[in-house]
A = this chain, B = another copy of it.
Amino acid sequence: MRIGDLATRTDVSVRALRYYEEQGLLASTRSGSGQRLYGDAAVNRVRLIQQLYAAGLSSRTIAELLPCVDAQVSTPESRERLVAERDRINTQIAELILARDRLDDIIDMTSRPNPQCDYV
């Protein structure tokens, strides 16, 4: 498939896909005229990349991680890295839950008609 198809299937922009390649996250073969060609596996690859981005990992970090995923092997260093990222995500989840609860409080607080303003 060509880049436009992959973009449609993954709901990621063409520019982003080229960027992923530039960052070493997504490989492609080229047609005779130089157009990028992808196999079906690229769809899941892009989804994985998106998921890792969503988790707050940088291109650089993802680039260092993907070879482990591909080879299904991790060195002590990369494992340490993976665990560190997971812990960071856990921390971030906890922060988000706190913030959400805080927002809930604010919503409750400001939604309830203020007793001091009630009349009759």
Chain A residues packing against B (C-beta within 8 Å): 48, 51-52, 54-55, 65, 68-69, 71-74, 78-79, 82-83, 85-86, 89-90, 92-93, 95-100, 102-104, 106-107, 109-111, 114
Copy total for this chain: 2
Q: Which of B55, B78, B100, B114 contacts A110 (CB 8 A)?
A: B78
Question: Which residues from B are CB-within-8-Å of A79?
Answer: 107, 110-111
A-B contact pairs, 29 of them (CB 8 A): A51-B98, A51-B99, A51-B102, A52-B99, A54-B92, A54-B95, A55-B95, A55-B96, A55-B99, A55-B102, A55-B103, A65-B106, A69-B106, A69-B109, A72-B110, A73-B110, A73-B114, A74-B107, A74-B110, A74-B111, A79-B107, A82-B106, A83-B107, A85-B103, A86-B107, A89-B99, A93-B96, A93-B97, A96-B96
